[in-house]
Structure 1
């Protein structure tokens, strides 16, 4: 499996690797043999000490005893700074440097880490991730299905995902209770940037829709506008929002989980324009 991961990452000496959860360093050593530099992140102190022993003869590895997340919505800034500083000061004679992420992500941090990495300032080009299968199912889910949600949307917004290999529990020790999968994410952080007029508004619309999946789209947007400080009562907002929804071809009684990415972008643009016009008129 380790060799498969290394091959899938298509490593070269121009690659800067952020490895999250380096453990005792078995995979790290294989990566270091082919990559230009590896930033190996391991938060467990005992594992970090073993990692240091494993990598003591590797001169192209920087080991970091830190949690990848500073908070739920932010990659640890010291880790970002370390990678950024290296990229900004390193020299190469053959092409541009390329940042890639390799990780076996624990279930409980998978979603925030993936979303935060996709939104991070680091110009990541590729991620090879080992994840629980239900996480990968959510990443590639289609609108209207039970797995479709914020992770599906953000993944499609910033990347193309391919499931490379499904893994049964017995390939790990200790064996988990669920199946896993290795996925390849080809990242393009500007994939839809020219289509979204206000990224914060896009995020707000997504959050409003998925904080209560069973609400109708009209009610989700109503809650968003009321919290946004628009000085209108609920009935007035309903009367404003219904034609906005119809303008973009969306039934006000539908649920947000039925919308594909293109519809969500168009809707968020219209909501952004509406909110700005209401605040300007005050």
Structure 2
């Protein structure tokens, strides 16, 4: 029976349709499931945490490979279905909760970071806050293989000078190496979404890509630069979310030989780090 037929049977027997408010679009292309597992490089010693387990299609692939599988699902009705399918498996744990409200650190106990993998077909309305939360656990997670709206995926992997490059690109690059490994069409999901999807692999860095003395200032500078992305860097910072002495900023630009008339979208993460670190040094 195809995965699409399984979804139809579930709807027919339960009267329960995919929940739009929870962003439920089930992956129904069975050929993609082993590819997701393969991209995560799951080994028999691994802990795999699946976010948004849904009807358990991907879960079935994971439990056959991983040492332990933790499925997180916010929908209580789907949790009942998952429990019926997988409760007899010794190394399977089901958590009914919103991943954004969970303290994930307790799940990692006893595992080396390289053996912790996160997999998920994320609800697109919550994908950005979920990824920011996961990145904060870079000391505990080896990699994430996650489904995003293609537009967001392009922003995640964008480089300086690209129209999709922005604060999200730099923030993720700070914590992880990102690559798009697969593009999927809307017809590979049910219900069929209005947007295309892309599978992104994030290999988390045990230490951030650049050394930053003040992370708060670093990210404030980045947000300011892209809040007014058509403005020149100096003007964007002056009108952004951070209160800085612009005369000192001129000195910082001169010291670093960075042209303040450039736009933020042309700066590399290393240049933002240099600016932030120099501001920190000159104000302390």
TM range (shorter): 0.7 to 0.9
CA distance in 2, matches of 1:27, 1:266: 43
Match of 1:146 in 2: 163
The equivalent residue for 2:34 is 3
- Distance in 2 (CA, whole Å) between partners of 1:205 and 1:10 is 36
Q: Match of 1:257, SS?
A: helix
Instruction: Give the Cα–Cα distance (whole angstroms) in 2 for the partners of residues 97 and 7 of structure 1.
Output: 15
Partner of residue 190, structure 1: 207
> What TM-score comes out, normalization by structure 1 length?
0.82
- On the 8 A contact 1:118/1:189 being kept in 2, the answer is no
Runs of 5+ unmatched residues, structure 1: 71-75, 231-236, 277-282
TM-score by length of 2: 0.81
Q: Aligned residue for 1:258?
A: 266
Q: Which residue of 1 aligns with 2:198?
A: 181
Structure 1 segments, 4+ long, off by >6 Å, are none
**Deviations 1:100-143 (Å, cap 9, x if unpaired)?**
11011122222222222112265111111121111111111121
Deviation at 1:96, TM superposition (A): 7.7
C-alpha distance in structure 1 between counterparts of 2:132 and 2:279, whole Å: 23
- The aligned counterpart of 1:39 is 70
Contact 2:46 2:115 in 1 (8 A): yes
d(CA) in 2 for partners of 1:25, 1:274: 54
- 1:24 touches 1:54 (CA, 8 Å); kept in 2? no
Which digits, 9 at most, give the CA deviation of each residue in 1:199-248, with x for residues without a partner? 222122222223332333223333568x55x7xxxxxx222211211222
* Counterpart Cα distance in 1 of 2:219 and 2:235: 17
- The number of residue pairs the alignment matches comes to 253
Instruction: Evaluate the alpha carbon distance shift between residue 221 and residue 273 of structure 1 in structure 2; reply closer, same or farther with a 3 A threshold.
Output: farther
1:216 is matched with: 232
